[in-house]
Chains A and B, each alone.
Chain A
Amino acid sequence: MSETSARPRPVSPHLTIYRLTWTMAMSIIHRICGIGLYFGTLLLAWWLVAAATGAKYFDTASAFFGSWFGQLILLGYTWALVHYLLGLIRHFIWDTGFGFGPERQTLARMTLVGSVSITILLWALALVLRS
């Protein structure tokens, strides 16, 4: 028994041996977006706590979100949010048993195209509403 357990256990092939496909890339990005959003909720918490604390503290938070660094984070956060949201919808389509044919690739491409366009639209809308 000890001889067999000393040998390294066989492992299944992983990422490195496969050709990168659209569906695979979107699956990986979906998970990365999810992890980003997980820690990104701290921003939502900070914003809400700042608003609850008072005007002075809220202005500090607003100043950060308004700075170029804050805007960059918020832009990334918006895109990750929209991308993850579209990914969830894609998973719901799969859950109903549809979308497993050649349209998989179209679905994957639409997720990326959709998330980028919706992010641009949302930021444009925010700019219009702000002025």
Chain B
Amino acid sequence: MMRTPLSRVRGLGAAHHGTEQFWLERLTGAFSVILLVILIGIVITLVGRSHATVIATLSKPLVTVIFVAAIISFSIHMKLVMQVVIEDYVHTPLRKVTLLMLNTFFCWGVGLACVFAILKISFGP
């Protein structure tokens, strides 16, 4: 007998989000693996290079798009993974909610700073 009919499962579960978070974590994980490999390939050529060389590489459209995609993917993945860590170890409601808020704030903050910087580099001074 089916114990969880679709009508009950859809959009429900403890957080009323079903398996959405798990799936998004896996999806951004897969994107991050691919983008990280490319990113490492780009950054490794920039080790010890001058500002002008770094700017020249980062402002190439393809490099910019890869960076922006990677940063978005990392930020979402980071937010979801840290949320699981917080939910695993912090059980005091006030502390938990505060940390969850800080987590969202941190990931958005770092993500936006990176995206803004790379776009500024790409579009020029």
Binding site for B on A (CB under 8 A): 31, 34-35, 37-38, 41-42, 44-45, 48-49, 51-52, 54-55, 58-59, 62, 66, 81, 85, 88-89, 91-92, 95, 122, 125-126, 129-130
Cross-chain pair count, CB within 8 angstroms: 77
Which secondary structure dominates where chain A touches chain B?
A: helix
Residues B78 and A89 in contact, CB atoms below 8 Å apart: no
Q: A34-B81, A58-B51, A81-B36 are in contact. Are A48 and B44 (CB under 8 A)?
A: no
Residues A129 and B44 in contact, CB atoms below 8 Å apart: yes
Residues A88 and B51 in contact, CB atoms below 8 Å apart: no
Which secondary structure dominates where chain B touches chain A?
A: helix
Q: A58-B54, A85-B37, A88-B32 are in contact. List 7 more A-B contacts (CB 8 A).
A: A37-B78, A38-B106, A48-B113, A49-B117, A52-B120, A55-B51, A92-B29
9 closest Cβ contacts across the A-B interface? A48-B117, A52-B117, A55-B51, A58-B51, A52-B120, A126-B47, A49-B117, A130-B48, A45-B113
Q: A35-B82, A41-B74 are in contact. Are A122 and B44 (CB under 8 A)?
A: yes
For B119, give the chain A residue with the smallest CB separation: A52
Give the docked Cα–Cα distance between A92 and B89 (Å): 25
Residues A91 and B114 in contact, CB atoms below 8 Å apart: no
For A78, give the chain B residue with the smallest CB separation: B40
Contacting residues, chain B, for A51 (C-beta < 8 A) = 51, 54-55, 58, 117, 121
From residue A43, how far is it (CB to closest CB) to chain B in Å?
10
Q: Does B85 sit at the interface, judged by CB under 8 A?
A: yes
Residues B85 and A35 in contact, CB atoms below 8 Å apart: yes
Q: A41-B78, A122-B44, A125-B44 are in contact. Are A49 and B33 (CB under 8 A)?
A: no
Give the docked Cα–Cα distance between A48 and B118 (Å): 6
Contacting residues, chain B, for A37 (C-beta < 8 A) = 78
B114 touches which of A31, A45, A92, A122 (Cβ 8 Å): A45
Give the docked Cα–Cα distance between A88 and B110 (Å): 22
Contacting residues, chain A, for B95 (C-beta < 8 A) = none
Contacting residues, chain B, for A85 (C-beta < 8 A) = 33, 36-37
Q: Does B12 sit at the interface, judged by CB under 8 A?
A: no
For A42, give the chain B residue with the smallest CB separation: B110
Residues A66 and B48 in contact, CB atoms below 8 Å apart: yes
Residues A31 and B85 in contact, CB atoms below 8 Å apart: yes
For B52, give the chain A residue with the smallest CB separation: A55
Most chain B CB neighbours (cut-off 10 Å) among A35, A42, A48, A89: A48
